Amino acid sequence: MFTRTESFKEFLRFYPIISVIIAIHIFLWVLLALPALGGGPLLNQMVGYNVLITEGEYWRLVTPIFVHASFTHMLFNSFSLVLFGPALERMLGKSKFIALYLSTGVIANIATYIIQHEHFRHVGSSGAIFGLFGLYLYMVVKRKDLISCANSQLIMTILVIGLVMTFLNSNINITGHLFGLFAGFLLAPFFLGKRRRYI
């Protein structure tokens, strides 16, 4: 389930949505790392900044999903997506996968806007990635017919580690992580439906 054996070309062909998302991550990070390319002002327009959202810049509820604070931040989130996204892209299909990813990311950002102070700033796809974990958690708890016992145990172990790290690390948007997870869990029935595909 989480072991990748595909070649690079096969991965691009089998998981086009994940491939595009990671390509966007890399492209935007390069713009951030090389201000000479003119990306600095553009990326400043993409950061989640609550006071500017209040002033009507609502696109900032979406754009932070694709922007990262550092190369390590971008690499970790992209690697997480490579590991945990393919099974869901295959199970849900392209349209439902991207809808799940974006909707949980946006809900996480809306929660951040509502709960955090007005000058709070944030970037990163972690809310959307935790949204994927929320759907996995729903399968573990409510749809055991869709996931094996071994994969359930693995998911729960990784999720516990992820939640512990959320509270231990500094500069983490705890609100985004938690509400991404909640959103994925709550939306899971709508995305899974009555499907019987086992992972």
Output the domain CATH number for residue 156. Answer: 1.20.1540.10
- 101 found inside a domain: yes
Share of the chain above pLDDT 70, in %: 94
| Each residue's pLDDT tens digit, 109-156 | 999 999 999 999 999 999 999 999 999 999 999 999 999 999 999 999
Mean pLDDT of 94-112: 98
Q: How far is CA 145 from CA 14, 134, 138, 149, 192, in A?
A: 24, 17, 11, 10, 12
* Predicted pLDDT of residue 171: 84
Could you tell me which of 86, 117, 106 has the C-alpha nearest to residue 2?
Answer: 86
Q: Based on the residue annotation, tell me whether 25 is a catalytic residue of this protein.
A: no
Question: Catalytic residue among 68, 73, 122, 177, which?
Answer: 177
> Could you tell me if residue 148 is inside a domain?
yes
176 domain-assigned: yes
Tell me: pLDDT of 82 over 90: yes
First to last CA, the chain: 7
33, pLDDT greater than 90? no
> Are 14 and 90 spatial neighbours (Cβ–Cβ below 8 Å)?
yes
- Cα–Cα distance between 186 and 166 in angstroms, integer? 20
**Number of domains comprising the chain:** 1
Determine the residue type at 166: T
Q: Is 126 among the catalytic positions?
A: yes
159 has pLDDT over 60: yes
Residue 48, SS3 per DSSP:
strand
The residue among 82, 75, 72, 137 whose CA lies nearest residue 104 is 137
Q: Residue 56 pLDDT more than 90?
A: yes
Residue 173's domain comprises: 8-192
The pLDDT, as a whole number, for residue 53 is: 97
Tokens of 40: 């600095």
36 in a domain, yes or no? yes
Q: Is-above-0.95 flag for pTM?
A: no
> For all residues of the chain together, what is the average pLDDT?
92
* Confidence at 5, pLDDT banded by 50, 70, 90: confident
Confidence of residue 164 (pLDDT cuts 50, 70, 90): very high
List the catalytic residue out of 78, 117, 126, 148. 126
Judge whether 18 lies within some domain.
Answer: yes
Number of H helices and E strands in the chain, helices first, is 10, 2
Residue 3 lies in a domain: no
The model's confidence at residue 31, banded by pLDDT at 50, 70 and 90, is confident
Q: How many Å apart are CA 179 and CA 177, to the nearest integer?
A: 6
